[in-house]
């Protein structure tokens, strides 16, 4: 996990591992009232790239981070909107690959001891930067009002979302695990490409191990139960 520049090194050493992917898009058809109905991608159909895959393994951190605090576009305002973005991103990747036997989603987990110091320093730095940005935002609102501009109460009370919430054992990660469980079951009940999957949850991070990790970190999020591995496989 988190090996700096590993993908860059791998792609430079073996450039042919990167391939372009042909994607199918949703399309719309009119109903009897001439209103458009969106038809989603049918994952049960053959892969449009001409090759089939047995398994897809997803490190969900690589999906959660760009969905919760994206670059180049406005970030979701609520955690509910973040969950929807995670669903959309995950579904897009799954529709690209269309795994026929196994879909494996690893949601979170405690870093090994060798990684913890680096992770700790990065998160402290992230928290400090977030604090400085919030102070700068408040100062800009004061200046804006001094210039005679109107600032809404909602804008004044708006709080920036802390990306450090994407940490093992936090309430946000518990919400993410629960949301993904709901979404997976919903897909299995409504999507033809998912209907033959079996569903398993594997608890990886228990309450006591979470508390031990937090004590090692000196301070941190409230310990909660986090279910981390979602496995879907064909019967």
pLDDT tens string 158-167: 677 788 888 8
Which three-class secondary structure state does DSSP give residue 166? coil
Among the listed residues 86, 63, 58, 77, the one whose alpha carbon sits nearest the alpha carbon of residue 179: 86
pTM of the model: 0.73
- 22: helix, strand or coil: coil
CB 176 within 8 A of CB 107: yes
pLDDT of residue 167: 80
Expressed in angstroms, the distance from the first to the final Cα of the chain is: 30
Residues in CB range of 15: below 8 A, 6 or more apart: none
Q: What is the pLDDT of residue 235?
A: 54
- Sequence-separated (6 or more) residues with CB below 8 Å from residue 83: 175, 176, 179, 183
Half-sphere exposure of 163 (CA within 13 A, CB side): 19
CB-count exposure of residue 67 (10 Å: 0-12, 13-18, 19+): buried
Below-70 pLDDT ranges, the chain: 1-2, 108-111, 151, 153-158, 201-235
């Amino acid at each position: 996990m988190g090996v700096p520049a590993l993908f860059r090194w791998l792609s430079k050493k073996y450039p042919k591992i990167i391939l372009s992917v042909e994607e199918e898009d949703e399309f719309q058809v009119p109903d009897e009232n001439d209103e458009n109905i969106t038809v989603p991608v049918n994952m049960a159909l053959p892969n449009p790239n001409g090759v089939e895959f047995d398994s897809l393994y997803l490190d969900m951190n690589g999906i959660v981070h760009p969905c919760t605090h994206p670059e180049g576009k406005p970030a979701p305002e609520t955690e509910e909107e973040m969950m929807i973005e995670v669903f959309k991103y995950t579904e897009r990747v799954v529709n690209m690959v269309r795994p026929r036997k196994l879909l494996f989603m690893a949601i979170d987990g405690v870093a090994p001891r060798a990684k913890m110091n680096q992770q700790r320093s990065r998160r402290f730095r992230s928290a400090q930067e977030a604090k400085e940005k919030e102070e700068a935002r408040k100062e800009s609102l004061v200046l804006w009002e001094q210039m005679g501009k109107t600032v809404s109460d909602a804008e004044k009370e708006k709080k920036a979302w802390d990306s450090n919430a994407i940490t093992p054992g936090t309430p946000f990660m518990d919400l993410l695990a629960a949301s993904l469980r709901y979404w997976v079951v919903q897909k299995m009940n409504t999507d033809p490409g998912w209907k033959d999957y079996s569903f398993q949850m594997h608890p990886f991070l228990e309450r006591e191990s979470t508390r031990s990790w937090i004590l090692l970190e000196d301070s941190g999020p409230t310990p909660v139960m986090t279910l981390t591995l979602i496995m879907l496989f064909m019967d």
